[in-house]
């Protein structure tokens, strides 16, 4: 084209200016570096073919000026085009990011497990997600443009309109209906409990409200089940308290009757004793009366329906003092050596009866002809972990050749029977006084407590 127009164009700088058009077009469509390459090749072509001397790269002052002017023009042409290209690419990138964000936001909007409604200032639904339509049983298009009051049960609509107007006057992010039960109305007329969170926002200059709706039907059902379970538990507790009171009343009455019957038998034996002339018979009746009295007391003291444990060492001390008093032997000392041992009622009574027989036996036989004496009672564990009850005295000791198995003593027969009941064994040692031991091995089905830091032992 430049050759064709050569006769019509003046010589000089015009060859360069003609090529500037090619540089501009190349830079605009192909970019910066193709435009720079085009500018360099065009400058060389113009210099060689159209600047005198022609067909050479001769360098003179005029050509230098022409080349400088050309370089300045193409630079001023390429740079704005390159800047506009960068701006355009950034805009395209921003638009692409905006489109991706919009798609992500729409996906999140649709994937939310709760219903989401966008409501304008007039209370009409502008947009909702699929879950929002599903909650109320509508198609999405059926609700677009409808008043949100359509989803409110009829009995609440009048009040809801006033509340909605109040919220529009003072919008804020908050839960709707705090402290009240809210219900939604389905298309089929059924109602279901809901929770609603409100979030006001501006969209394209218009005030909007986002309502997040949660179906709490399952939670309400769980709360109702919990309430019913609590009510049943309260009924059971009341029945248990009534039963406990009845049991306590029955047990108290039973204790009273048993104790009275034992006292009645003791009274009858005491009356019979006044009519007996034989001294041995009187002594036997006296011993029986004492046993019945002590059994009555043991029954009152130890037999508890709740299995409450007592301090057995303190109990043995009280028991020994009572027996010494009943025998009329105030000069005999009774010493109890025991860590704080506790025994449940089902084992406490047999052990106490064994202790009663051993203390009574010592008072009857050990201090013959002596005004004073000492009875020692030890309760604890041996090296094998067995529970041991030992009653010893400083009396005259057992007769020579005494064999417990051959004895006809009622007391020893009672002791042997109680020992068998406890699953233990009974031992006697004769020395300076007599020593009797009841041993309950650790293998016996009793829950034996361990030594506590305070020195307590529990026999359970």
- Asked whether the predicted pLDDT for residue 309 surpasses 70, the reply is no
Q: Which two tokens stand for residue 81?
A: 């085009």
pLDDT band of 446, cuts 50, 70, 90 = very low
**What whole-number distance in Å separates Cα of residue 338 and Cα of residue 12?**
132
| Spatial contact of 312 and 345, defined as CB atoms under 8 Å apart | no
Can you tell me the mean pLDDT for 414-422?
A: 86
Give the residues across from 147 on adjacent strands: 124
- Asked whether the predicted pLDDT for residue 225 surpasses 90, the reply is yes
* Per-residue pLDDT tens over the stretch 254-266: 666 776 777 778 7
- Asked whether the predicted pLDDT for residue 453 surpasses 60, the reply is no
What is the distance in angstroms between the CA of the first residue and the CA of the last residue of the chain?
120
**What whole-number distance in Å separates Cα of residue 429 and Cα of residue 394?**
12
Q: Is the dihedral of CA 10, 13, 15, 17 positive or negative?
A: negative
Can you tell me the mean pLDDT for 322-347?
A: 78
Can you tell me the mean pLDDT for 236-245?
A: 86
């Amino acid at each position: 084209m430049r050759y064709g127009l050569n006769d019509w164009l003046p010589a000089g700088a015009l060859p360069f200016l003609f090529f500037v058009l090619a540089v501009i077009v190349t830079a605009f469509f192909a970019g910066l570096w193709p435009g720079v390459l085009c500018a360099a090749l065009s400058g060389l072509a113009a210099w060689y073919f159209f600047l005198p001397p022609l067909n050479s790269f001769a360098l003179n002052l005029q050509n230098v000026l022409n080349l400088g002017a050309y370089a300045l023009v193409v630079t001023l042409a390429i740079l704005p085009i390159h800047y506009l290209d960068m701006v355009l690419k950034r805009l395209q990138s921003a638009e692409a990011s905006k489109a991706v964000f919009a798609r992500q936001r729409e996906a999140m909007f649709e994937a939310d497990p709760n219903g989401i409604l966008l409501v304008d200032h007039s209370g009409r639904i502008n947009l909702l997600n699929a879950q929002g339509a599903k909650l109320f049983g509508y198609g999405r298009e059926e609700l677009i443009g409808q008043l949100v009051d359509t989803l409110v049960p009829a009995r609440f609509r009048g009040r809801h309109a006033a509340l909605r107007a109040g919220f529009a006057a003072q919008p804020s992010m908050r839960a709707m209906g705090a402290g009240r039960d809210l219900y939604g109305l389905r298309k089929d007329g059924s109602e279901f409990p809901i929770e609603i969170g409100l979030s006001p926002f501006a969209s394209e200059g218009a005030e909007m409200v986002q309502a997040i709706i949660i179906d709490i039907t399952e939670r309400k059902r769980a709360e109702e089940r919990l309430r019913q379970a609590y009510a049943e538990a309260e009924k059971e507790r009341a029945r248990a308290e009534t039963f406990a009171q009845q049991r306590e009343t029955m047990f108290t009455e039973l204790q009273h009757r048993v104790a009275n019957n034992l006292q009645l038998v003791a009274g009858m034996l005491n009356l019979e004793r006044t009519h007996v002339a034989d001294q041995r018979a009187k002594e036997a009746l006296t011993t029986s009366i004492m046993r019945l009295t002590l059994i009555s007391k043991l029954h009152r003291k130890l037999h508890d329906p709740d299995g409450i444990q007592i301090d057995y060492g303190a109990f043995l001390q009280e028991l020994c003092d009572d027996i010494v008093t009943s025998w009329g032997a105030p000069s005999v000392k009774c010493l109890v050596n025991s860590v704080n041992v506790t025994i449940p009622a089902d084992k406490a009574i047999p052990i106490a009866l064994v202790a009663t027989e051993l203390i009574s036996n010592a008072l009857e036989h050990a201090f013959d002809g002596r005004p004073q004496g000492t009875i020692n009672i030890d309760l604890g564990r041996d090296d094998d972990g067995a529970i041991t009850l030992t009653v010893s005295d400083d009396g005259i000791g057992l007769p020579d050749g005494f064999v417990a198995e051959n004895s006809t003593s009622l007391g020893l027969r009672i002791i042997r029977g109680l020992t068998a009941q406890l699953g233990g064994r009974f031992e006697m040692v004769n020395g300076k006084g007599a020593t009797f031991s009841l041993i309950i091995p650790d293998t016996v089905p009793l829950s034996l407590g361990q030594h506590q830091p305070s020195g307590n032992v529990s026999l359970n």
